[in-house]
Structures are given as structure tokens and as C-alpha cells.
């Protein structure tokens, strides 16, 4: 596998940068998760119908999907550093749009969501590509990345309701701007990594998307990413809505919803060890069943039961995150890793968009119990598909994107 050759002092650039990615990624996740939770709370405060809450929660996907797909070619062509700069700048802009748009609240929420969706689409591929650059200790590094970013998600989700209660909704959005600025400051210190065979033009990088998507391991791990996204999408939409409808305050709903991130943090810390002990297939099987089963458990309209289910969903999603990132990074080269990650995570974004839309419609038609039961059933279908296709992706001769490397 081709490795980056640039060195700063006595440490490779990837090692030097990884801690900065942890720190800036933590701050970015606090910022955008607080932003994400503040949006449905604002909608509820304005007495908007639940279907419109679902639409607002899904708005980021309008740009998150195309930017997530294009983030791979952009990173492979421009490098992780520049893409992360743009990411953090967009997060700053998202908060400023909402804060300054009080005269047109719905328009400002939509525009802010579009900005944050673009930022989220760019961030994950760039950050994960940088962290997953070194083969040595890749699972541990990506596990810690999961813990840092989900730690940020935990803080952001838990604080959002409290910020709304004590600072007001507008004050909460100001808080997200401050953190995004801090992430941008840290990101500005990232050192450029030298990569052999980086695509010479953006067109060459984009041309790799289709062959990347045809690789069996990308398809199967894409379905794993799809399941990984469901609890995270619910944490930004219908987990807090469900809890508020059960009678808890905004701040308590945020704290309980934050259990999802808590589960992901714990799973990330022990992800590499669990992977070494269980192997990839068994690790993912356990994690997928946890996610699907927890959705069924959430159908119970009891706050305590829902809290347990949210934590279990987060734990399962954490192991899924470590698993698919490690596998895709490990089966890629430096010059195509970002593209493979981006295409894999296209499935993730589809779930991020589809989950709140589906939940909003189901809540309206059949209520909370039926909504989560249906989503659990669909999740178990995906579990069966991944397990059924496992040997196919493991044995297939991957049509590597390296066939399309520049001359």
C-alpha cells in the first residue's frame, strides 16, 4: 500500500495531524449536534406539525448527500486539510445565518440546515481519510476518532436543550458559531500531507466514483453504514421529539438522547479490542442486531425503556462505525481511500435523510409504537442482506479503483 512520505520533525504528518483532527472534530461535532437538536426544538416551540419537523430535520440531506459523494474526489484531489477548512467555515456560516435571520425564521432554519448539511457531508470523508491514513493501529485510531467525535455529539446533544432553556434558542445557535470558529482555528494548523498518485484533476477524481461503487466490499459495508446512521439520525430528530411527547422537558430530552452518543463513545474506545477478539463478521453481526433490536425496544412508550434502547442503539452504531471505517480504509490506497469512504457513506447519508422523513410520516399515521416497530423490521432486513452477502464481498476480486490511477 502506498503511504504518505511527508514528515514533520520526527513524526509523520498523519500522526501529527491526527490529534488536531480529534480536537477540531470534537468541537465541530458539539457545534453541529447542538445545532441539529436546536432545529426541531425550535420547530416545536413554533408549534409546527410533526411532518414539518421531519422535513426540517431532513433538509441537511439535500446537500449532505451530494457533498458526501463529491467529498471523496475532492479530498483525493485537494487533500484533507483544505476540505476540512471549508467544512468548519460552513459550520460558522450555518449558525450565523440562523442567528441573523430572526425576521425570517423558517427561511433561516432551512438555509442554516443546508449549510450544516454541506459541512457534515465534507467533514466525515476528509477527517476519516486523514485518521485512517496509517495502517499501523488503524482500528484503534478510528475507534478513538469515533469516541472523540461522538463525545462531541454527546456534549452537543446534552447541552442543546439546556442552552435553549437558559440562553434561549437564539443564544444556543450563537454557541454553535463560537465552537465552529474554534474548530476552524485548530483546523488552520493542519499540515499538508504528501500523497503519491493523487489525481491530477478533479475530473479524474470524479471518474473514480462509479468503479468505486461497483466494488463488492463498498456495497456491503455501505449497508453497514446505512444501519449505523439510523440511531444517529433519530438522535437529531425523533428521539428528542418522542421524549418531549412523553412529558419530559427539553433539557431532559436532550440528556436522554445524548445516551446514544455515550454508547458510541464507549463502543469506540473498545472497538479495536472487540474487533481483534470477535473478528469483523461477528462484531458487525452483534452490532447490527443491537441497532435493529433497540428500535423495536423504543416502541415501548416508557421513558426508562426508551433511554436504555437509545444507549444500546448508540453502542451498536459505534461498533458498526469502527468496523466499516476500518474495513474500507484497510482495503483502499492513499490515492483512493477518500473516494471509497465517500461512496460507502452515501448509504449513510441516505439513511440520515430517509429516517426522519419515514419517522415523520409513520408517527403521523400509526404513532410512535408502530413507527419504531416498522423501522426495526426494515433494519432486520438490512441485517439479513449484509449477512447473506458477506462471503460474496469477502471472496470477490475487488475491481480496485487503482485501475483508474493516473499515469
- Per residue in 25-39, pLDDT tens? 999 999 988 888 888
pLDDT tens across 393-402, in order?
887 654 444 4
Instruction: Kindly tell me the burial class for residue 278, based on how many C-beta atoms sit within 10 Å of its own C-beta (0-12, 13-18, 19 or more).
Output: middle
Which position has the grid cell 469515533? Answer: 146
Considering the domain boundaries, does residue 3 fall inside one? no
Is the separation of the CB atoms in 67 and 348 below 8 Å? no
Whole-angstrom distance, CA of residue 271 vs CA of residue 268: 5
111 in a structural domain: yes
Q: Which residue has the cell 444556543?
A: 172
* pLDDT per residue as tens digits for the range 202-233: 777 788 888 888 899 999 999 999 999 999 88
pLDDT number for residue 198: 64
**Residue 377 domain-assigned (yes or no):** yes
End-to-end CA distance of the chain: 17
Domain count, the chain: 1
Asked if the structure places residue 200 within a domain, the reply is no
Asked, for residue 403, whether it belongs to a domain, the answer is no
DSSP calls for 83-122: HHHHHHHHHHHHHHHHHHTTTSHHHHHHHHHHHHHHHHHH
For residue 407, is it within any domain? no
The overall average pLDDT reported for the chain is 83
CATH number of the domain bearing residue 363: 1.20.1250.20
Lowest mean pLDDT among 30-34, 236-240, 283-287, 345-349: 236-240
331 falls within a domain: yes
340-352: average pLDDT: 88
- pLDDT-wise least confident of 142-151, 165-174, 263-272, 378-387: 165-174
**Could you tell me the CA-to-CA distances from 373 to 10, 253, 297, 306, 358 in Å, in that order?**
54, 21, 8, 13, 12
Buried b (16+ CB within 10 A) or exposed e, 127-150: bbbbbbbbeeebbbbbbbbbbbbb
Task: Print the domain residue range for 296.
Answer: 8-192+205-397
The 10s digit of each residue's pLDDT in 77-127 is: 888 889 999 999 999 999 899 888 776 767 788 888 899 989 988 998 899
Question: What is the pTM assigned to this prediction?
Answer: 0.75
Asked if the model's pLDDT at residue 250 lies above 80, the reply is no
Q: Is residue 142 a part of any domain in this protein? A: yes
Amino acid at each position: 500500500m502506498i503511504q504518505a512520505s511527508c514528515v514533520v520533525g520526527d513524526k509523520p504528518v498523519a500522526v501529527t495531524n491526527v490529534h488536531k483532527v480529534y480536537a477540531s472534530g470534537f468541537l465541530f461535532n458539539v457545534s453541529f449536534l447542538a445545532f441539529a437538536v436546536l432545529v426541531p426544538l425550535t420547530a416545536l416551540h413554533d408549534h409546527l406539525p410533526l411532518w414539518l419537523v421531519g422535513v426540517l430535520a431532513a433538509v441537511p440531506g439535500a446537500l449532505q448527500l451530494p457533498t458526501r459523494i463529491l467529498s471523496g474526489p475532492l479530498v483525493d484531489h485537494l487533500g484533507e486539510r483544505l476540505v476540512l477548512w471549508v467544512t468548519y467555515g460552513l459550520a460558522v456560516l450555518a449558525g450565523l445565518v440562523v442567528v441573523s435571520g430572526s425576521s425570517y425564521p423558517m427561511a433561516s432554519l432551512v438555509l442554516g440546515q443546508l449549510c450544516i448539511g454541506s459541512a457534515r457531508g465534507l467533514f466525515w470523508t476528509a477527517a476519516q481519510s486523514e485518521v485512517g491514513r496509517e495502517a499501523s493501529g488503524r482500528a484503534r485510531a478510528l475507534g478513538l476518532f469515533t469516541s472523540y467525535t461522538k463525545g462531541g455529539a454527546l456534549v452537543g446533544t446534552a447541552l442543546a436543550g439546556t442552552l435553549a432553556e437558559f440562553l434561549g434558542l437564539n443564544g444556543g445557535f450563537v454557541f454553535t458559531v463560537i465552537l465552529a470558529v474554534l474548530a476552524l482555528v485548530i483546523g488552520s494548523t493542519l499540515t499538508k500531507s504528501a500523497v503519491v498518485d493523487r489525481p491530477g484533476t478533479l475530473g479524474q477524481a470524479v471518474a473514480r466514483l462509479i468503479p468505486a461503487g461497483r466494488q463488492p466490499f463498498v456495497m456491503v459495508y455501505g449497508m453497514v453504514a446505512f444501519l449505523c446512521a439510523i440511531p444517529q439520525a433519530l438522535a437529531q430528530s425523533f428521539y428528542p421529539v418522542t421524549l418531549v411527547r412523553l412529558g419530559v422537558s427539553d433539557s431532559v430530552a436532550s440528556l436522554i438522547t445524548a445516551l446514544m452518543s455515550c454508547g458510541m463513545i464507549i463502543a469506540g474506545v473498545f472497538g479495536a479490542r472487540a474487533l481483534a477478539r470477535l473478528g469483523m463478521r461477528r462484531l458487525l453481526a452483534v452490532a447490527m442486531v443491537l441497532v435493529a433490536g433497540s428500535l423495536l425496544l423504543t416502541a415501548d412508550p416508557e421513558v426508562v425503556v426508551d433511554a436504555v434502547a437509545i444507549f444500546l442503539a448508540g453502542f451498536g452504531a459505534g461498533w458498526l462505525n469502527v468496523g466499516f471505517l476500518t474495513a474500507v480504509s484497510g482495503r483502499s490506497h492513499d490515492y483512493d481511500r477518500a473516494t471509497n469512504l465517500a461512496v460507502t457513506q452515501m448509504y449513510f447519508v441516505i439513511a440520515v435523510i430517509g429516517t426522519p422523513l419515514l419517522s415523520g410520516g409513520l408517527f403521523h399515521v400509526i404513532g410512535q409504537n408502530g413507527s419504531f416497530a416498522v423501522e426495526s423490521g426494515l433494519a432486520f432486513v438490512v441485517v439479513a442482506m449484509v449477512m447473506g452477502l458477506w462471503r460474496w464481498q469477502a471472496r470477490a476480486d475487488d475491481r480496485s479503483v487503482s485501475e483508474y490511477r493516473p499515469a
